[in-house]
Amino acid sequence: MTPKNGLWLKVVHKYDFEIMQDMAVHYSKPRGFVGRSICYAIMFGEKRYGHIVGGSATKFLPGRVVAGSLNNGVNNIFFHITPNGKYPVRNFMQKVLRLYRKTVERDWFEKYRNIVLWHESLVEPPRIGECYIRDGWEMVGKTKGFTCKRVSGREKNGMSGKRVWDTKNLRPKLVFIKFI
């Protein structure tokens, strides 16, 4: 059942055509989502305004002190809105974040059987994370900016794919946290 009017989130597959289109025009140009994730289309009535994705918490983040395990945190790993003219309601982005947090907490427990205790997000400057601040998130640190990719081969511990760290093109990100 879909609402005829109002804001709602629709679960989509991580390789859905429309989410791939949003990823291609997003400033960070992600190539996909690794680990646990739940992807949503941001809907207002029958119109799609973008996508938001909850994923596995990041292993090491400066400034983050949390209770529980990493399985109890959800990282807002992708958030893209295309207003197509203007937003349908005032404070649209904050309303999306509020609905996302409530929805992903429920869906994360249903899918992975972990209770969500906190949310986190990484924002690449010059963006300042204004929508997160307006939603009550706290900036707790800044990453060093290393990016990691996997290439063919084996790591010493037997895992497939060697991790290669890019230390030349540092892209530090602001770390935002929202506790429940």
61-112 residue pLDDT tens = 777 777 678 899 999 999 999 877 789 999 999 999 999 999 999 999 999 9
H-helix segments, 51-91: none
**CATH fold label, 7-144+172-179:** Aminopeptidase (3.40.630)
pLDDT tens-digit readout, 113-143: 999 999 999 998 889 999 999 999 999 988 8
Cβ atoms 28, 80 nearer than 8 A: no
Q: Read off the pTM.
A: 0.84
Q: 82: Cβ–Cβ under 8 A, 6 or more apart, which residues?
A: 22, 25, 49, 50
- The domain spans of the chain are 7-144+172-179
Tell me what pLDDT residue 85 has: 72
pLDDT value, residue 94: 94
Residue 16 has which token pair? 């859905």
